[in-house]
Chain A
Amino acid sequence: MSERFTSASDLRRSYDLVIVGAGPAGLAAAATASGFGLSVLLADENGAPGGQIYRGITRSSEADRRRLGPDYAAGKKLSAAFAESAAAYTLGALVWSVAPTDEETPDADYPLEVGISLGGVARAIGAQRVLLATGAIERPFPIPGWTLPGVMSAGAAQILLKTSALAPSGRTVIAGSGPLLYLLASQLIAAGAPPVALVDTTPRKNWRVALPDFPAFAMSSYAAKGLKLLFDVAKRIRVIRNVSALEAVGGDKFETLIVTRTNGTMERIDADLLLLHQGVAPNLNLSSAAGCALEWDEKQALFRPKRDEWLESSEAGISIAGDGGGIVGAQASVIEGEIAGLVAAFRLSRISKEMFAQRGAELKKRLASVLRGRAFLDRLFRPADEFRVPQRDDAIVCRCEEVSAGRVRATAALGVQGPNQMKAFLRCGMGPCQGRLCGLTVSEMIAQARGVSPADVGYYRLRPPVKPVPLREFAAMPQSDAAITAVAGFVERSVEKGSAAGSLEPDNRIVER
């Protein structure tokens, strides 16, 4: 049975494998790796395993699973397999850093250190290897008014349904592009809360671009399901297509969605809740802060960590599985998790080369089969240019620091070459979300201004902690004489009270330069 920890103080000094993220990839990797005899710690920031796709699965009811569909229910088996495993598990844990072990860590017989904050205690945990399974986040969708209360992401509404059985009570509009949009619409219909409209911003030309990949998609497990979903939703609620611009308006809260169509006509849709979705992108703050090299994926218009064929990143000992390494979906994420668990076991000499080769080949075959048809989805749901790069200057790009598209464009005109200079000049990406909701937009806006590919512009350089950590937790972490000297100039220690030397003088200290 997997053992749960609620304070970082109770964790072991080190593990063979530390996995970050308890979604499909992380759960599968933990079960696989501990099955091979590795000591495994699975750290997750949520209150229960499952990630976002299987959010709340361990406590879900029959009714929940019926409403949310079989793809959600599949998480039950996965989480059960993990619960049976010997892996250690932390919920509500923040992994704020992954880095090579500091030169001053005493007796470190492990190459990597994982900074973890749990139960009010921050600690560095040693690891032979680390697997980042941090999943996906919804892409930024910077339309004017998207910061208004009453505008949420589609994923947010789905999470509310999964974890708290909450369904929208008023008039709801869903807008954007991507498979989740239609899945959510069908789930809301099943929950008795059908949206008044689904505004589909998928560019018409994407169908043409994706067509060559359709035959492969048609053979995949998604095809029948996906197409049925599309038609079922279109039958039940109003779907608006051929959209060129969106604007959310309201006073203190969202009131109206203004839809402009490609033919120039405009329509105002009054509603209480606007749910936005423009596909998902890898959550790469931790992998990037760990130093893993990123690459631009033109097909999906996003950055992802570079990985080799065995899912290993550019940083020694750090692997990345699941959507955090590139969007592949839940089924493929599970297989990637198994591959990563297998690779960890092999690299740490727990399995033979033959076994690795044989199991690895099997898993790769399964992965290829599950990924069949992915190219079609990637091309079809590549978000429209005008919904990735805001056309209007008044659209907020960085929500945290309230930096508008106009300011980003004007500053780009100074000759700003990349997002890091932009961040220095405008504070975009410096707020608490650390660029998660503006990174792609800012890089693409600079690329547009420079007339180059985002690949040439790059992404925000991210730093630990990847999410805020109370200073008092850092203050309680181990110090070293060299570090004290680096800051204070010299080491000063009060001689312990009661010791022989301590009784000599009140100002008795050992001072080292």
Chain B
Amino acid sequence: MQATTLAKEQLFSMYRMMVTIRRFEEALRNLFFQGQIPGFVHLSIGEEAVPTGVCAALTDKDYITTTHRGHGHMLAKGGKPKLMMAEMFGRRTGYCKGKGGSMHIVSYDLGILGANGIVGGGIPIAVGAALASSFRGNDAVAVAFFGDGASNEGTFHESANLAGLWKLPVIFVCQNNGYAEFTPTSESTAVKDIAIRAQGYNMPGVIVDGNDVLAVYEVVKTAVARAKRGEGPTLIEAKTYRWEGHVVGEQAFVGEYRPAAEIEAAKQRCAIVLFAKKLLATGFIEQAELDRIAAEVQRKIDEAIAFAQSSPFPEPQEALDDVFAP
């Protein structure tokens, strides 16, 4: 096992988190096909090591912004499956009282400043949170999660420049899953590695295996330390792969646009299996314990679904609330 500063309990909780993200999204996919989830659902199955590794290096007072594909980031930052699930179902008990849905979840208390329906929309917001942190001297760092596709938006470049210029405590985490919608990164991005773009903004650019949760954790930990020393931002490119389509149900209207062998190869490098193997090899943990964690997670997800299903829809007139602060 590679060097890690993590204690046994932290390793367990990382494993639990990866399984939670996987099961949460698998459930979501099934519920969508059953017609229980309105709107669009974007899954990050196969990418669980990135949110888990990143958020393990953060504290409660740190901030994140995420994307349309943000369930994993929210769970890893402490999002409660129940409240997230209820939001997906459009219920009043959800994080946003049914107003936001999957793509727009916010949990102010948890420092989740928003999933986002606009590609690149959250990146400057994370920079702003880091700016506030530098004003207030409260040591909080902000992480902007975004995709390789988003790194072609102006918002990424403008944000990176501000952060580099002002040495803000922000970490840009580009979760490169190889595709933006239906277009492979190689057909949309002038550079092979997104991390190289860091050079233009005077910050370190680091590439990490996005399927190796401990490797992700370590690079983020280094970036957090750097941010807290006032040395500024880091761009981390975590290379991973999305097993599922861009949006659930897309096969019906776009068909398959990726080589089957490519998807199969990615599945062979399942982040959860890789991590389990490592844990077992250390002798820290027995298979039975991993099974117990998986069963416990499944129970939690089932509870979340039951909670969502039994929660009421909002009253229609509630649509008029929350436009302005009182």
Verify that A and B bind, or say they do not.
no
